[in-house]
Structure formats: structure tokens, C-alpha cells
Amino acid sequence: MHKKMLADKTILITGASGGIGEACVIEAADSGARVILTGRNEEKLKSVLLKLHDKIHDIAIVDLTNDDSIDSVVKSIFDKHGQIHGFIHAAGFEITKPLRKTTREDFRSLLDINAFSGFSFVRSIMKLKKNKVSQMSFVIISSIMGNVANRGLAAYCASKGAVISGVKAIALELADKGHRINSVSPGIVNTPIVKKIMEKYPVDMKERILKTYPLGTGQPKDVAELCNFLLSDRSRWITGTDFVIDGGYSAK
């Protein structure tokens, strides 16, 4: 019997109660990892925790806008569970506004959660001197909107573009230590939030959107399986790369 892809690894995941984040939690747990679910809403995190089969997993409440909170949570996870092997930053949100109505605070809040908080987690984990893992792997969820664009998404596109470029720079710093970091850029994924948004659109608008995806829109599990591969030793020679997973949307 083959050893599971993430067996004996401890993986931290932000946004763990959201669509992609939850799928990443379930996929990592099924692949043998101990998963630490992080987020703001304890009740939602616990509801995801109940879906996991064994009792080795845990939750941690964190304020993603506060570096002290991130440092404290990372230290407490290490103290409780030992070595940290990998991390997925799945937390994020979107603001859709024309530029004339987009405020500096909109840009700041999107950059803070979508990009900076993920980088802060990586920095905090790297500062753990007692964490002796020789080959850690970090994955930051970006978006195809970090590579292409749509009207009304200037701040969102800027935040996701920051993820892609930041990951490349961080990869160069981590490489001499044997650690890796990559970004994953999904197109439209059928999360509960996206489904609610799509339900509000007229039928003809939904059809137009679907036609822009040659393979159709994605499922959270599609993204989670890619993240699992990037966390595993099977991707040991991959770093500083952005992985587009969009059913062919950006191939046009």
C-alpha cells in the first residue's frame, strides 16, 4: 500500500471554513496530514473539523490583519503540535467597484487579507528556530485576475497580482534553505458564495459567463488537489511558480 501523499505532515490552512479553504482541509486530511484550521469564526471552523474522520486535527482563531496575532497563533500551534511542514493561504475576498468609487481603504483591505497576511504567515513560520523541517512548502491562493483583468476589479486584481510577484521574490529567499513557495490562480470556482452570486444573474448572463470557460467552471476540490501536490514531496523541484487552474479561460 502506497504511503499517503501528506502522511506525517502538519499543514496550516487559512480561510479553512470557506469553499476552497474547506476543500483544502478535507483533501489534506484525506492525504494523511494533520491539519490546523485557522480563521476568525470558531463555530464555522468547528463545523468543518467535524467532517474530518480522525481526531488529530485542530483549529486556531487568528486575526489576519494583525502580525502579533499571527505570530502568537503560529507559536502556539508549534508548541502544541510540533514541526510545521506546510501552509496554504486560502483566506481572501473580493470588492467589485468602478475605479471612481474605489477607495484607498478598499485597496488596503484587499492587499492586507489577500496578500500580506499570507506572506506574514510564511514569515512567522520561518522565524520558528525550533522548527527543523528541512523542506517546507507554502501555497498562496491568487486568482486568474492576478494575470488578466475585468472591469470593476482594480483593487482585487492588484491584490492578486501582488501575490504572484511576491511569491516569486520569496521563493528566491527560501530556496537556499530548501523551502518552497508557489501560488495557485483559479478561475471561477463553484463555492457557496459564487453560487449565491450566480443565482442573482439573469439566465443569459450566466450563459455568457459559462461560455468563457472551455472546460466549464471549477470545483473547490480541483484547486485543493493541486495545492496538495504542491505541498507534497512530489513537487520538490517546483518553486516561485504561479499555477493557473481555470478550465481554459485565460487560454483565449
Q: Is 203 exposed, middle or buried (0-12, 13-18, 19+ CB in 10 A)?
A: exposed
**Rounded CA separation 35/16 (Å):** 10
**Rounded CA separation 158/110 (Å):** 9
SS3 61: strand
Cβ 162 vs Cβ 115: under 8 Å: yes
Annotated catalytic sites, by residue?
156
**Rounded CA separation 157/233 (Å):** 31
**Rounded CA separation 252/233 (Å):** 33
Phi, psi values for residue 77, rounded to 5°: -65, -45
Selection from 156, 165, 40, 62 nearest residue 109 by Cα: 156
Cβ 235 vs Cβ 229: under 8 Å: yes
CA atoms within 13 A on the CB side of 211: 6
**Rounded CA separation 9/15 (Å):** 19
Q: Alpha helix (H) ranges present in 188-242?
A: 192-199, 203-211, 220-231
